[in-house]
Amino acid sequence: MIVGLGNVGKEFEATRHNVGFMVVDNLASKFKKLFIPGRGNYYFAHFSIAGDDVYLVKPTTYMNNSGIAVKEAVERFEINLPELLVVYDDFVLPLGKLRIRKMGGDGGHNGVASIIYHLNDNRFPRLRCGIGNEQVKPGADMVNFVLSKFDPDEIPVVEKMVKTAADAAVMFLTEGTEAAMNQYN
């Protein structure tokens, strides 16, 4: 399962906080699948790779309550946590950088904190997508920053990052976390 974190609604489209949604949208397009409502607070798309079922998930609970939807989807599709990849934005990473980890804390990300809380576990892989830029300074208004749209000159970097993150997610699915880490970190 690949979960992309973001906020639903037109006003949040193409914002920094919706990079996770952008990555799973890219994957759905690549595999020619559409998102449909799930039995819970999420949309999902389903396809197979090498005989394995794959689910792309977009929570509809808004970022800070992502864990509600992730728990529902994990239980519904009977996903083991090492088979769950959560994709989300990280303002600490420079724009365009990717980092994959097997597990860890929330790093100050409310969506990831919600997932850890609702799953009562932090042992799931995650793919952090860098959205930071020179505006990110100590004391900056981070809420407004993450909810802002990308600057026009950043868009080519974002598009490349989203495509590369989607490729990393496919490698996670086909070759595992270690291989994806070695290739994309």
Structure token pair of residue 67:
């864990």
pLDDT for position 108: 86
pLDDT for position 132: 86
- Give the ranges where the chain is alpha helix by DSSP (H): 19-30, 66-76, 110-119, 142-146, 155-175, 177-184
* pLDDT tens, the chain, 185 aa long: 999 999 999 999 999 999 999 999 999 999 999 999 999 999 999 999 989 999 999 999 999 999 999 999 999 999 999 999 999 999 889 999 999 999 999 998 999 999 999 999 999 999 999 998 776 665 667 778 888 899 999 999 999 999 999 999 999 999 999 999 999 99
pLDDT for position 89: 96
Q: How far, in Å, CA of 5 to CA of 116, rounded?
A: 14
Structure token pair of residue 138:
């100590």
Backbone dihedral region for residue 62 (phi beyond 0: left; psi -120 to 50: alpha; all else: beta): left
pLDDT for position 152: 94
Name the active-site residue from 17, 46, 109, 118: 17
With contact defined as beta carbons under 8 Å apart, do 157 and 97 qualify?
no
pLDDT for position 139: 60
Domains defined along the chain, listed by start: 2-184 (3.40.50.1470)
Regarding pTM above 0.85, the answer is yes
**Known catalytic residue at 17:** yes
